[in-house]
Amino acid sequence: MTGDDGSAGRPATLGVARWHAFGVRAADGGEGTMVMVEANDVHSARARVERKNVQGLVFRSYNYPLTRHYFFQFPNAEGARGFLREWVPHVTDAAQDVDAKPDPLLNIAFTWWGLNKTGVLAAATSQAFPEDIRGLPNAKAMRDLGCSAPDKWWNGKFKTEDVDVMLLANCQSPASLAAQGEAIRRSAAEFGVKELLPINDGRDPLDGYLAPGGILHFGYRDGISQPDVNWDDEPNKPNLVDRRWFLLGYDDGEVPWIDFVRDGSYLVLRWVSQNVPAFNTFLREKAAQLWPHMPPAEAQELLAAKMMGRWRNGTPLVKFPDGPETDEKKQRANDFSYAMDPDGVRCPFSAHIRIVHRRDDELDGANSVMFSPGTPRVLRRGSTYGPHLDGEVPDGNDRGLIGMFLCTNIEAQFLVLMRWINETNFHAKVTNFHGQDPLFGNRRMPSQSGKFEFQANGKQHVLTDLQDFIRTKGTLMLFLPSMATLRKLSA
């Protein structure tokens, strides 16, 4: 998901809320020190978030030039804890001044089975966590079908269940990346931790970079908006988004396990390949069919804008339907409501940004019950990978996005958005019940219409033969613990 985000609201369903009713109490035994359930300090539900206890990635995008995703498999609890002991002290917390460009930055997130391999959690605990984090990624809910199916992930070099932990490195220079990488790999070798390498026939890790000017491979500008979060639960801040969408452990009245998860978050990693030649060809051919009398470049920009909901330089269609603005402020405009465009005349209902952040659009009956009064929100982080490509001729290189989505309820936040991307029938006013996000939908979905309906220049248009412009290459459902929990896991 790329594009849009950012308005107020309180989560309708929260991750932690699911846990307390189990009342599971872990016991000592097995390897290491088991985490004991502690009574919750009810005052903490309203507490200021201690920045030093939160991994920095939650609070902000780093926007560092280089990003590396290390995937590792632990040999056993001893090896896991030894490795973590070396690297947890280097983890970047939210109190660090990232604007001062400390280098390198590091964050650590675990798959559920990786977390359990540390031996810190009692076996019974696993039943207390939601299925979305305990199990393999729900490919059905994400509509990862056809060439996006899980058996084709990771370039076939390993399986999702092989990954125990992800170390996320953000660096200012190749030298810094190389030096940190050497140290991490030396440490991994010492503790018998196996690195899983998906790139270059299993020789390289998954690297991303900060897209120049924020322009991603399909030519859209990214990073325009993110939710403004009320991190400290301050009263009378209606324009800020509730922190409970993104930080575990602050749900009112919670008890067991809340201390273990507090200040952590779920992190969904999506590795997505973008087919730039196919997209550019689609734009050229369809734009020429739709508007043969318009200059081709202008027609292609209009079609691209209708698919995203923003002109490719960021200018939102709802506010500026006639063309992209040159003014930076207008390009980054985020102060709009779909009440300005209730029938989808300017911004189509299935445009990407109108799906992933519906703002004030009315939901249909079932969805309005599930998400009233809020709407699914996620914090987006990530990088791009692969060389830039203009034109329509494939160059044999892979390119795309490595997206990371932070939330507290994978099902009610991330997976719902994935369902909506693949079937845009959640709007109260939508009549194309089997439409999809024209950019990110998976066309193998059995019931999808393959049609993109929109209005432009006073006419209704229906584009058929939507293609798969993206392909999922890997997904991880991870737990990004607090700093305190990281220390427990490595103790």
Partner 1 sequence: MPHALNLTIPIKQDEATQKRLAQIAAEFPTKFQPKIDAALKKSKIVHFARVVNVHNKFLQVITEYDGDHKAYTEFFRKELPDVFAALFSLADAPSFDKLNQEQFFQLSKSLNLRSLGETNLGESDDVGTAEGYLFAATGNKTVKDILAAG
Compute the least distance from the CB of residue 423 to partner 1, in Å: 8
Stretch near partner 1 under the rule CB under 8 A, chosen from 65-73, 199-207, 430-438, 460-468: 430-438
> Does position 18 bind partner 1 by CB under 8 A?
yes
Nearest to 416 by CA among 485, 369, 478, 384: 369
Name the β-bridge partners of 316. Answer: 310
Q: Which is nearer to partner 1, 18 or 306 (CB)?
A: 18
Name residues contacting partner 1, limited to 174-193 (CB under 8 A). Answer: none
Compute the least distance from the CB of residue 400 to partner 1, in Å: 25
Tokens at 298, concatenated: 């202008």
> Does position 255 bind partner 1 by CB under 8 A?
no
Q: Pick the binder of partner 1 from 419, 461, 471, 488 (CB under 8 A).
A: 419
x-or-dash pattern for partner 1, window 366-385, by CB under 8 A?
x--xx---------------
CA distance 419 to 454: 20
CA distance 235 to 170: 34
Residue 227 has phi, psi (to 5 degrees) of: -60, 135
What is residue 241's three-state secondary structure? strand
Q: Which is nearer to partner 1, 70 or 426 (CB)?
A: 426
Compute the least distance from the CB of residue 259 to partner 1, in Å: 19
Name residues contacting partner 1, limited to 384-413 (CB under 8 A). Answer: 409, 411-412
Name residues contacting partner 1, limited to 72-101 (CB under 8 A). Answer: none
CA 243, 244, 246 angle in degrees (round to 5)?
A: 70
> Does position 24 bind partner 1 by CB under 8 A?
no
Neighbours of 437 (CB within 10 A): 30
Q: Pick the binder of partner 1 from 8, 17, 179, 278 (CB under 8 A).
A: 17
Q: Pick the binder of partner 1 from 212, 235, 238, 446 (CB under 8 A).
A: 446
Neighbours of 464 (CB within 10 A): 9
Name residues contacting partner 1, limited to 138-157 (CB under 8 A). Answer: 138-141
Tokens at 1, concatenated: 């998901």
> Does position 130 bind partner 1 by CB under 8 A?
yes
Q: Pick the binder of partner 1 from 416, 439, 463, 483 (CB under 8 A).
A: 416
Compute the least distance from the CB of residue 419 to partner 1, in Å: 7
Name the β-bridge partners of 169. Answer: 68, 106
Compute the least distance from the CB of residue 486 to partner 1, in Å: 25
Judged by CB under 8 A, the number of residues near partner 1 is: 28
Tokens 């929109």 correspond to 454
Q: Which is nearer to partner 1, 280 or 436 (CB)?
A: 436
Sign, Cα dihedral of 91, 96, 98, 104:
negative
Q: At what angle do helices 174-190 and 77-87 cross, to 10 degrees?
A: 150
> Does position 462 bind partner 1 by CB under 8 A?
no
Compute the least distance from the CB of residue 426 to partner 1, in Å: 10
Tokens at 353, concatenated: 């940004």
Tokens 């599930």 correspond to 370
Q: How far apart are the first and last CA of the chain?
A: 36
CA distance 387 to 370: 41
> Does position 460 bind partner 1 by CB under 8 A?
no
Dihedral angle at the C-alpha atoms of 197, 200, 201, 202, nearest 10 degrees? -10
Which residues of this chain interact with partner 1, rule CB under 8 A? 13, 17-18, 21-22, 130-131, 138-141, 364-366, 369-370, 409, 411-412, 415-416, 419, 425, 431, 433-434, 446-447
